[in-house]
Amino acid sequence: MIVTLYQESNPLICIKANDKEIFKGKLNNKLTEFDIACKKIILSIELLDKSSKDTIVMHDRIIKDKFIKIYSIKFNDLLLNETDFLNMYHPYLYHNNNKIKSNFLGFNSPSYLECRITHPHNQLIKPLIN
């Protein structure tokens, strides 16, 4: 599976698959792909360096911010955009003892996003077996 992340302001992040760190570093490209060789995982993405200084507000509007979001996930030839991903896998953002359904990670650190991902074919076949 290929997970594509979209970012603003080069965040420092940590990505884990089944509690195993697969990437830790700064993202420099707007879109970055990670190839994760698992058909069933718990994906965790942590934003490590976000502070209130990273959010620039002018006239009550955010004009610049540091954030990351899951842009898409691709399984072989099946591409799920961020809306499909949000509806199918129910990712949650954890921040200050709050749990919010989201594919967007932009609160001040520490905060992380987590979800269980199985191949969509497994999602479709499971109801037929039960």
State residue 80's pLDDT score: 92
Largest CA distance in the chain: 56
CA dihedral 86, 91, 92, 93 (to 10 degrees): -80
| Across 22-42, average pLDDT | 93
Judge contact between 85 and 103, C-beta under 8 A. Answer: yes
Residue 23: pLDDT band with limits 50, 70, 90: very high
Reported pTM: 0.88
How many CB atoms sit inside 10 A of residue 67's CB?
A: 18
Query: Tell me: the pLDDT tens digits for 70-105?
Result: 999 999 888 999 999 999 999 999 999 999 999 999
